[in-house]
């Protein structure tokens, strides 16, 4: 038995969730190095997540010559696995409950697809939306991987995993899945919205980047009570040590990485200097101008 919401079939009985928080993964657009896949998988194992539902007919949205079905033998029989988008859920003691959306980017009917995702959000009454991503960048593997984004109104502990809080200024080709992020505040402006993106070394392009996954989980650990060993830090360190050995044998790549390190260090020094500097004092003329504009704004009917 299942219940239909938009294009999704939810397994019945559908659990009643307590103020659920949503984590979304969008493949393949912003999951390079499978960093988000690894991070979400570790979260799901920790919280004993279960499947809640999947697309009823994934072929409506996906081109199966691009997302290939797979065949495997099960007890001597051939079984075909069809690529799909999945919804998992977890109910930790004391809440909040969690929803994990593993979303494939659609090839067709993208508006219907994103509206279906939003319909599930609305039905479940979500209270927080967190989009996790991983992208390639001019990033040396010898420095702490950059994590950018914003946690919005969500409070964080410590240094928030060294998250660089900033809004994206990217302009260019993008994904239809941004309609989901745009649609969340329209469901309810009180929904908390978080966007977290880890930047990975473009020259490495590891199939599974555990350092990237660890950095995402470090940021989430500043928001949620996660065990300290959940981020796969040691696995990532071993991986990058092997990468360093390979770099030593490539003179041109080694020189390129040294230039990346210099750029990274200069930007980090400039950021720290900016944070340490007190705000510049305004001139008396600027102060008077701002006071006059404030007076006019608060008394719009009063002649200037």
What is the overall mean pLDDT for the chain? 91
Mean pLDDT of 115-122: 98
- From CA 52, how far away is CA 50, in angstroms rounded? 6
- Residues 282 and 212 both lie in one domain: no
- Residues 224 and 259 both lie in one domain: no
Residue 161, pLDDT score? 80
**Is residue 206 situated within a structural domain?**
yes
pLDDT range class, residue 108, cuts 50, 70, 90: very high
- Per-residue pLDDT of 233-283, as tens digits, reads 999 999 999 999 999 999 999 999 999 999 999 998 988 888 777 655 666
- From CA 136, how far away is CA 129, in angstroms rounded? 23
Of 202, 232, 262, the residue that ends a domain is 232
Q: Please, are residues 21 and 98 in contact by the beta-carbon 8 Å criterion?
A: yes
**Is residue 263 situated within a structural domain?**
yes
Residue 130, class by beta-carbon neighbours within 10 Å (0-12 exposed, 13-18 middle, 19+ buried)? buried
- Residues 47 and 131 both lie in one domain: yes
**Is residue 35 situated within a structural domain?**
yes
Of 175, 205, 232, the residue that ends a domain is 232
**Is residue 241 situated within a structural domain?**
no
- Residues 197 and 286 both lie in one domain: no
Of 175, 200, 232, the residue that ends a domain is 232
Task: Kindly write down the DSSP assignment for every residue of 205-256, as one continuous string.
Answer: --SS-HHHHHHHHHHHHTTS---TT-S-HHHHHHHHHHHHHHHHT-HHHHHH
Residue 21, pLDDT score? 98
Residue 7, pLDDT score? 98
Q: Is the pLDDT of residue 52 over 70?
A: yes
The structural domain count of the chain equals 2
- Per-residue pLDDT of 141-184, as tens digits, reads 999 999 999 999 999 998 888 899 877 777 888 889 999 999 99
Residue 304, pLDDT score? 42
pLDDT range class, residue 299, cuts 50, 70, 90: low
Residue 1, pLDDT score? 72
**Is residue 124 situated within a structural domain?**
yes
- Residues 22 and 159 both lie in one domain: yes
> How wide is the angle at C-alpha 52 spanned by C-alphas 46 and 58, nearest 5°?
120
Q: Domain range holding 279?
A: 250-297
| Angle between helical axes of 178-187 and 110-124 (0-180°, round to 10) | 40
- Residues 174 and 203 both lie in one domain: yes
Residue 177, pLDDT score? 93
Closest CA to 198 of 172, 231, 153, 230: 231
**Is residue 164 situated within a structural domain?**
yes
Q: Lowest-pLDDT range, 33-42, 108-117, 207-216, 285-294?
A: 285-294
**Is residue 303 situated within a structural domain?**
no
- Residues 281 and 138 both lie in one domain: no
């Amino acid at each position: 038995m299942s219940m239909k919401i938009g294009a999704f079939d939810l397994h019945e009985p559908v659990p009643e969730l307590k103020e659920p928080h949503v984590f979304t993964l969008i493949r393949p657009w912003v999951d390079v190095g499978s960093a988000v896949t690894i991070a979400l998988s570790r979260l799901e194992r920790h919280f004993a997540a279960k499947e809640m539902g999947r697309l009823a007919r994934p072929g409506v949205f996906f081109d199966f010559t691009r997302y290939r079905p797979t065949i495997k033998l099960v007890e001597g029989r051939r079984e075909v696995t069809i690529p799909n988008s999945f919804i998992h859920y977890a109910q930790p003691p004391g809440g909040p409950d969690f929803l994990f959306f593993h979303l494939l980017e659609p090839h067709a009917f993208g508006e219907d697809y994103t509206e279906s995702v939003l319909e599930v959000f609305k039905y479940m009454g979500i209270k927080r939306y967190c989009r996790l991503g991983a992208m390639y960048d001019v990033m040396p593997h010898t420095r702490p991987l950059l994590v950018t984004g914003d946690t919005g109104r969500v409070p964080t502990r410590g240094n928030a995993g060294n998250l660089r809080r900033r809004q994206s200024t990217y302009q260019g080709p993008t994904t239809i899945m941004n309609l989901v992020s745009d649609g969340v505040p329209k469901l309810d402006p009180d929904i908390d919205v978080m966007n977290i993106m880890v930047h990975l070394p473009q020259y490495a392009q590891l199939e599974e980047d555990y350092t990237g996954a660890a950095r995402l989980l470090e940021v989430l650990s500043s928001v949620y009570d996660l065990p300290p060993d959940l981020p796969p830090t040691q696995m990532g360190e071993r991986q990058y040590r092997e990468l360093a050995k390979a770099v030593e044998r490539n003179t041109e790549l080694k020189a390129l990485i040294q230039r990346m390190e210099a750029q990274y260090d200069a930007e980090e020094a400039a950021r720290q200097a900016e944070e340490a500097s007190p705000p510049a004092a305004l001139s008396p003329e600027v102060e008077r101008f701002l006071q006059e504009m404030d007076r006019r704004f608060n008394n719009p009917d009063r002649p200037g």
